[in-house]
Amino acid sequence: MTTTRDPLNAILGYPESPVASAAQGPLAGATLAVKDNYDVAGYPTGGGNPDKEAESPIAVVTAPAIQSLLDAGARFIGKAQTDELTYSISGLNAHFPPPVNPRARERATGGSSSGSAAAVAGGLADIAIGSDTNGSIRVPASFCGLIGLRITHGRISMEGAMPLAPSFDTFGWFARDASLYEVVGAVLLGEDTHHETFTRPVRIPALEALLFGNEERAAYHAMLSQALDHWKRPPCFVDLPGEPGELFTCFKEIQAYEAWKVHGPFLSQKDRRLGSGVRERFAYAGSITDEQVAVAQRRRAAFANAFSAVIDPDMVVIMPSQPSAAPLKIANQEELESYREKALPLTSIAGLLGWPQITIPLGTVHDAPFGISLLAHAGSDRQLIRLAGAILQG
């Protein structure tokens, strides 16, 4: 099994293989790390599991989205650690030393794009690629003080990526500043298909109620005030068409069902030594029936229709990225699972909709990074990136 090869435990110690990039382009000079669930020619795709790594052939073709960045001049520096089979948001993989969160070293980075977030937050890479199924970009971005966008589902190809739950899986990336984030978006996203300007900010009380306590609420409202200054107008208030926990259950059942379809054959061959938490999630995944997922899919469609009906094209939702700062690394598995159950209702909304959501590093709580998010209609990704940059600039 490979090990990590930097003080942040972010970049994996695979034997180095030359990866060519263009000498010129909009990303010339920018360094690039790639989460180890994407194919990069000359490397295995380990997916955070020793058996998966051992059975992975050396890739001969680089994932198309990654190749686009190399063709734009980005310089590959290595593959980044991921939570096991990408089925976690903790940033703690039982098979690897934990990545270091440079902004809060006693706390987790979040995952599953853990090494990617650590690499950018710690200055090892200017850009790092991750993926987001239910928060694996947005969670570590909030925890590590980075910009992170969950894109409109399907807008960037996931060809050459190890899937988890294909109807939710999305491409994503981290950067420390909005200008570079926007350049990457220009390379990968093409033109937005949503052309309505966001003139009306929206708050959803049911989502803000998920914040943990008084310190989180105070920090969030400070960020909210800064974000609302962009519009110079009071926000609209909208009711969530559903209860957050119930909607997360809907998401969780569909995700688990798809995850078992993807990884069940691999996991059923023999004991794959899954880490705590991941092992239990896959056991749950194997129990989801066709009937359960059919009900969940109908609920997903009903929610998407109802939400789209109350969020007009010129509206953008402002919401918490996470309910608090990252958990402490010393947290036990019960504490991590408790955090997960409280945090993932926030991230599941964008996944159920297929809409883009960007987290902005505006705040701190408990002396650690704490982000705020913008959620908007499908196809508005680049407008969201520009809006995030404008809010950051004040």
* Distance of alpha carbon 375 from alpha carbon 381, whole angstroms: 9
Position 29 pLDDT exceeds 80 = yes
Paired tokens of 18: 């030359």
Catalytic residue among 21, 88, 112, 116: 112
> Domain end: 144, 160, 189, which one?
189
User: What residues does 174 pair with on adjacent strands?
Assistant: 128, 148
Catalytic residue among 136, 142, 348, 380: 136
Same structural domain, 86 and 226 = no
Tell me which residue has tokens 């909030």.
142
* pLDDT value of position 197: 97
Tell me which residue has tokens 């991750």.
130
Is residue 313 assigned to a domain? yes
* Distance of alpha carbon 161 from alpha carbon 158, whole angstroms: 5
* Distance of alpha carbon 358 from alpha carbon 373, whole angstroms: 5
* pLDDT value of position 28: 98
Task: Write out pLDDT tens, residues 354-380.
Answer: 999 999 999 999 999 999 999 999 999
Catalytic residue among 21, 35, 52, 380: 35
* pLDDT value of position 5: 86
The residue among 338, 153, 188 whose CA lies nearest residue 258 is 153
Same structural domain, 99 and 176 = yes
Average pLDDT, the chain: 97
Position 1 pLDDT exceeds 80 = no
355 and 379 Cβ atoms separated by less than 8 Å: no
Position 2 pLDDT exceeds 90 = no
Same structural domain, 261 and 151 = no
CATH number at residue 212: 3.90.1300.10
Same structural domain, 204 and 181 = no
* Distance of alpha carbon 170 from alpha carbon 339, whole angstroms: 23
Same structural domain, 295 and 376 = yes
Angle of helix 381-393 versus helix 178-189 axis, rounded to 10: 170
Position 22 pLDDT exceeds 80 = yes
Helix (H) or strand (E) holding 69: helix 64-71
Is residue 137 assigned to a domain? yes
* pLDDT value of position 394: 83
Q: Does residue 35 carry a catalytic annotation?
A: yes
Q: Which domain holds residue 78?
A: 31-189
Is residue 164 assigned to a domain? yes
Q: Does residue 342 carry a catalytic annotation?
A: no
Name residues whose C-beta falls within 8 Å of residue 233's C-beta, 6 or more positions apart in sequence. 200, 201
Give me the mean pLDDT over the 87-98 stretch. 97
Same structural domain, 278 and 312 = yes
Same structural domain, 234 and 137 = no
SS3 of residue 316 by DSSP: strand
Domain tally for the chain?
2
Is residue 135 assigned to a domain? yes
> Domain end: 160, 189, 218, which one?
189
Same structural domain, 240 and 147 = no
* Distance of alpha carbon 123 from alpha carbon 21, whole angstroms: 20
> Domain end: 145, 164, 189, which one?
189
Task: Write out pLDDT tens, residues 340-350.
Answer: 999 999 999 99
| Angstrom distances, CA of residue 305 to CA of 57, 195, 227 | 42, 20, 27
Query: What percent of the chain shows pLDDT beyond 70?
Result: 100
Position 142 pLDDT exceeds 90 = yes
Same structural domain, 204 and 184 = no
Is residue 19 assigned to a domain? no
323 and 373 Cβ atoms separated by less than 8 Å: no
Is residue 301 assigned to a domain? yes
CA-based torsion, 339, 343, 345, 351: positive or negative: negative
Position 323 pLDDT exceeds 90 = yes
Residue 35, CA atoms < 13 Å, CB-side half-sphere:
35
Is residue 281 assigned to a domain? yes
Q: With 0-12 CB in 10 A as exposed, 13-18 as middle and 19+ as buried, what is 186? A: middle
Other CB atoms within 10 Å distance of the CB of residue 202? 20
Name residues whose C-beta falls within 8 Å of residue 265's C-beta, 6 or more positions apart in sequence. none
Same structural domain, 240 and 387 = yes
Is residue 13 assigned to a domain? no
Q: Does residue 308 carry a catalytic annotation?
A: no
Same structural domain, 38 and 182 = yes
Q: For the CA atoms of 94, 260, 47, 325, what is the dihedral angle to 10 degrees?
A: -60
Q: What are phi and psi of 315, to 5 degrees?
A: -100, 145
* pLDDT value of position 67: 98
Same structural domain, 101 and 174 = yes
Other CB atoms within 10 Å distance of the CB of residue 335? 12
* pLDDT value of position 119: 98
199 and 316 Cβ atoms separated by less than 8 Å: no
The residue among 172, 151, 144, 185 whose CA lies nearest residue 322 is 144
